[in-house]
Amino acid sequence: MLDLSLTQMAQGLAERKFSSVELTQAFLQRIQIVNPQLNAFITITESQALDAAKAADSQLEKGTATPLTGIPIAHKDLFCTEGVKTSCGSKMLDNFIAPYDAAIVTNLAEAGAVSLGKTNLDEFAMGSSNESSFYGAVKNPWDTQAVAGGSSGGSAAAVAARLVPAATGSDTGGSIRQPAAFCGITGLKPTYGRVSRWGMVAYASSMDQAGPMARSAEDCALMLQHMAGFDARDSTSIEQAVPDYLSQLGNSIQGMTFGLPKEYFAEDLNPQMAERIQAAIKELEKLGAKVKAISLPLTRMAIPAYYVITPAEASSNLSRFDGVRYGYRCEDPKDLEDLYKRSRSEAFGHEVKRRILIGTYALSEGFYDAYYNKAQQIRRLLAEDFQKAFQQVDLIVAPTTPNPAFDLGSKITDPIQMYLEDIYTLGVNLAGLPAISVPAGQINNRPVGLQLIGNHFGESQLLNAAHQFQQVTDHHLQKPALV
């Protein structure tokens, strides 16, 4: 059962080959055995999951089920879940029990999905390796000496190791796609505003976007179908009809033009990675796609722009965690100032503190125009580069990362080297575009990710192209030896 796709699970449930309770128990047992090696979960909600599975079986008996009814999933631990700890991977929220569900948690629960718990992440989603979590690093199931990627490393590792067939993630600068690439699964970052951010603890509000993580594009399409939609509670949600993503997966990509940005195939790219990506591109060409060289000249400016804008927004968003209303509170504060200082100093980790300081500096008087305003101008120009490219091509094809997963501890003390690992993903978030990462081979038993980038609200086209690629390759069917 553990190797079945979401569609196959739905079919098995509908045909009564197994029950949701049996399916849920199988994954819970798997979590108990494997999770101690990976540290992918922060919280496991066994009793709630079994109750939800029983309710799903009742729906299946009545014939009122959706394609997700009774299927186990997991949520990244920055989506509020009523009655369950929502920690954001931080000591600051280690004692926080959410009083309500995030929009996507509600949407998936109403679709009948069974949540098994909350997955590990970089603290407040700030990181590219899942090493900044208060609960410890997540290990890559393909090689436990390697990082799982961040910030959605817990979700990626859990899906890859068959602890759960699908999970939610969030992507601010590549935090769905990069761990998906490192762990050999499929991860979709939707258009900004496509999926509600209500109930998702904010890191950088103008870029945070929830999305699905699963083993295939088809499974991601099924997840997105129930995650997407307008939400009046979210001021950044866009009121636009949600297409039937699954129905468009059979379309041919014959005649489509894929843009190949020269900046993504420069000296930053590992030569072996380039070989795997070129081999994947040849598969797309065999399917009838055309490949055209394009330029995204401001690609290298994405990193400095991103690492000014997001820390600035983080310094504002995280100001609410002050030891007064909820979360961690220092012992015996002398006065209000001492309460603020010690609560924040003791509860935030190094990476979060670094970004708060950078952001506060960039927004301070005398530096706002020099840094934050300039970064926003670059952001606009980056978005224009993408729009010029989409006047020539249907989709953009590129590596997801410049290298496969790196060793645990190898970059944690060098934030600049860590940030450079995001060079191929950041521009998508700055421009608010959708993108997907799919498995495209391995280098020394560490997976490689192929990234497809679409224009705004082009998820159907992205999912279909990824699905067509997966119909003629088996990279997404490979599983780590740990499994």
Q: Would you name the residues annotated as active-site residues?
A: 76, 151, 175
Helix (H) / strand (E) element for 466: namely helix 459-471
* Secondary structure letter of residue 322 according to DSSP: S
SS3 state at 55? helix
Interatomic CA distance for residues 130 and 149, integer angstroms? 6
Interatomic CA distance for residues 357 and 264, integer angstroms? 31
Interatomic CA distance for residues 475 and 414, integer angstroms? 32
Beta bridge partners of 450: 399, 438
User: b/e map of 158-169 (b: 16 or more CB within 10 Å)?
Assistant: bbbbbbbbbbbb
Contacts of 387 (CB under 8 A, 6+ apart): 455
- Of 253, 270, 327, 406, whose CA–CA distance to 86 is shortest? 327
Interatomic CA distance for residues 352 and 259, integer angstroms? 36
Residue 87: Cβ within 10 Å count: 27
SS3 state at 271? helix
Residue with structure tokens 């899906």?
159
Residue with structure tokens 């081979």?
441
CA angle, 429 as apex, 281 and 288 as ends, to 5°? 20
* HSE-CB for 130 with a 13 A CA cutoff: 40
Q: Is 259 exposed, middle or buried (0-12, 13-18, 19+ CB in 10 A)?
A: buried
Peptide bond into 151 cis (omega under 30): yes
Q: Give the chain's radius of gyration (CA, Å).
A: 21
Beta bridge partners of 147: 139
**What ranges in 152-244 are assigned the alpha helix state H?**
153-160, 177-183, 217-227
